[in-house]
Amino acid sequence: MKRGAFTLIEMMVAIVIFSLIVISLYKSYDALKESNQKYSKITEEMEHLWRIKRVLYLDFALTLKSNVKVLNQERNRDIVLLQTSNSIHNRFNPFVAYVVKNGVLYRLESLYKLHYPFDTQTVADVDRIGKVKRFRIYKALKKEGQRVISYYLIDILFSDKTKILYKIRALNEV
């Protein structure tokens, strides 16, 4: 007997097998897509935290000599006024303030010296850092030979339990 084509049953079996393979591949693709979305979100959060840490570090490491004021407001909240050579808005030696308002930490950057409390004449770019439970800055002075070096301990606890604890030495002091 000579066969020239597939029978109907053979075609149906092939279609069923092909359908099972496509369904399993779709489930795998869907699981991969879901895990990529989760990892993408985690990566974005880590990148955001890295940017915050970088700006904090550069602001305090590049402070200009004796231009840092730490104002204690509450047990878990400080206000910091400083002048730094770090700018995220392309300014030369900007004045920067870190302020917590309604549980949110903000960074203000201005060409003009900032004074607390701020008034309606204050001109600054405002960047939202994130929701915080604690924002504390501790300043210490250490004498090294003839020089006095400033050290800053930065303690931030975000609402999502992420914590930043930095000890930073001011590099610009002479």
Question: Residue 36: inside a domain, yes or no?
Answer: no
Question: Residue 23: inside a domain, yes or no?
Answer: no
The Cα 70–Cα 108 span in angstroms is 15
Tell me the per-residue pLDDT of 139-155, one tens digit each, with 9 for 90 and over.
998 888 888 888 999 99
DSSP per position, 17-79: HHHHHHHHHHHHHHHHHHHHHHHHHHHHHHHHHHHHHHHHHHHHHTEEEEEEEEEEEETTEEE
Against a cut of 0.85, is the pTM above it? no
Domain range for 77 is 50-169
Give me the number of domains the chain comprises. Answer: 1
Q: Is 155 in contact with 162 (CB distance < 8 Å)?
A: no
Question: Residue 14: inside a domain, yes or no?
Answer: no
Question: Residue 40: inside a domain, yes or no?
Answer: no
Question: Residue 157: inside a domain, yes or no?
Answer: yes
Tell me the per-residue pLDDT of 88-132, one tens digit each, with 9 for 90 and over.
999 999 999 999 999 999 999 999 999 888 888 888 999 999 999
Task: Say whether 112 sits in a helix, a strand or coil.
Answer: coil
